[in-house]
């Protein structure tokens, strides 16, 4: 499958080294996620970070909620090595698990329930059918009132809007690369971005379509809480009571 590329240490390492360069407004996205979590009916005492990478999301949550503990789950050994380094300061509040989200077998690697489940830039690598199944699995893992948030790469509604996103990303990357002293042209940056090796692994779906899937599964207060072209944060809550 295309997402096997993330087990390649060179590709995974390049992503980790360049994430702050590649993802605009990353800090704002984390702030929005924390704000939504603070409105959950239950305190986030047990947190699960799916496709955690180096666990920047889980670490941010554990910093913000000192009573919380969490699990960083990923299928890339290199990502998990980096996650353990980042989470070491939290001691036994944080653990890592190697598991593959592409099938429901990952559920055997964790023991629910959880007060919050988050994911960042991972689920868009799965087929739409698998996305929906995974959202259903997450719903069942949450306590009543628990929150699910996906900080995700979504699809553009039209080719013109996709070109707007690519133009924004090219300008962002050009400014960042020039800012750190690289001598590059705008066209070179655009080519590097559009021809990056992990691009073929993307199977993006529209944010609103995915929000509708969440509603159909049973999540409430579902919304896209933040969006910048193809970068979005969406999610919802498991109801406090289910009839």
CATH code where residue 49 lies? 3.40.50.150
* Residues 34 and 117 occupy one common structural domain: yes
First to last CA, the chain: 39
For residue 173, being part of any structural domain is answered with yes
* Residues 9 and 44 occupy one common structural domain: yes
Residue 2 pLDDT level (bands cut at 50, 70, 90): very low
pLDDT in tens, 156-182: 999 999 999 999 999 999 999 999 999
Instruction: Quote the pTM value.
Output: 0.90
Q: For residue 23, what are the domain limits?
A: 2-157+202-237
Strands 114-120 and 142-153: parallel
HSE of 33, CA atoms in CB hemisphere, 13 A: 30
Residue 243 pLDDT level (bands cut at 50, 70, 90): low
SS3 category, 149: strand
Task: Give the C-alpha separation, 138 to 113, whole Å.
Answer: 10
* Residues 81 and 186 occupy one common structural domain: no
* Residues 33 and 90 occupy one common structural domain: yes
Cβ-based neighbours of 228, under 8 Å, separated by 6 or more: 24, 25, 168
Q: Which has more confidence, 3 or 170?
A: 170
For residue 242, being part of any structural domain is answered with no
* Residues 59 and 179 occupy one common structural domain: no
As for how many domains the chain has, the answer is 2
């Amino acid at each position: 499958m295309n997402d096997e590329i993330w087990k390649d240490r060179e590709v995974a390492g390049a992503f980790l080294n360049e994430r702050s360069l590649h993802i605009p407004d990353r800090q704002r996205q984390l702030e929005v996620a924390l704000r939504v979590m603070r409105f959950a009916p239950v305190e986030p005492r047990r947190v699960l970070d799916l496709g955690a990478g180096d666990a920047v999301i889980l670490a941010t949550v554990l910093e913000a909620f000192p009573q919380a503990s969490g699990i960083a789950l990923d299928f890339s050994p290199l990502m998990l090595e980096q996650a353990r380094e980042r989470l070491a300061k939290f001691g036994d509040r944080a653990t890592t698990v190697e598991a593959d989200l592409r099938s429901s077998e990952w559920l055997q690697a964790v023991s629910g329930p959880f007060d919050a489940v988050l994911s960042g830039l991972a689920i868009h690598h799965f087929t739409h059918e698998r996305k929906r199944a995974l959202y259903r699995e997450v719903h069942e893992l949450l306590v009543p009132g628990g929150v699910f948030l996906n900080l995700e790469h979504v699809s553009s509604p039209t080719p013109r809007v996709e070109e707007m996103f690519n133009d924004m990303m090219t300008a962002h990357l050009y400014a960042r690369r020039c800012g750190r002293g690289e001598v590059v042209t705008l066209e070179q940056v655009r080519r590097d971005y559009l021809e990056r090796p992990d691009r073929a692994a993307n199977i993006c779906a529209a944010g609103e379509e995915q929000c509708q899937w969440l509603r159909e599964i049973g999540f409430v207060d579902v919304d896209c809480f933040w969006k910048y072209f193809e970068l979005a944060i969406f999610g919802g809550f498991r109801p406090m009571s289910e009839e």
